[in-house]
Structure 1
């Protein structure tokens, strides 16, 4: 099955896209300069209808994951960078079978 994929290069564009389009999975690159991944996740999850949107962080070795902030923001998972070819597919399959 083919799924549509969209890419944005800014936090405001990501929030706007998630507001205007039903999104199953949003991946946030935690190494993007100038973006607080926890705040971006919270902004995405605050959108009306975003309850089922799973937000996943793409993390490198240097990223210090804050479990409490992640929980409050609504982060659903992590993928280590570099991401392998099968990792996003496996993540989508797992998230599609989980309750919101």
Structure 2
């Protein structure tokens, strides 16, 4: 585990000039879950799930995905391709520097 990541919260991350909002909660040393919302939800849709996971010792990262974060709203349709969305999530996972449980629903 990377101790630098454990000791600080991640409130946002950047990729290709865009800034993505993150709700980081739970124990700093907990096994991480990355929670991906569906359409037309936001990261707040994971609040109850995150609370349950946090109470059971897991750390959660609920991401506002491309188009939902105020700092990540490109105008071109091609900027919303599945491969691009995957790379956004990979950028967060690279920051976490651990294996994660990846949870999504709908388009998440």
Q: Taking structure 2 as the reference length, what is the TM-score of the superposition?
A: 0.33
Q: Which has the higher strand share?
A: 2
After TM superposition, the score normalised by the length of structure 1 is: 0.35
Higher relative contact order (CA 8 A, sep 6+): 2
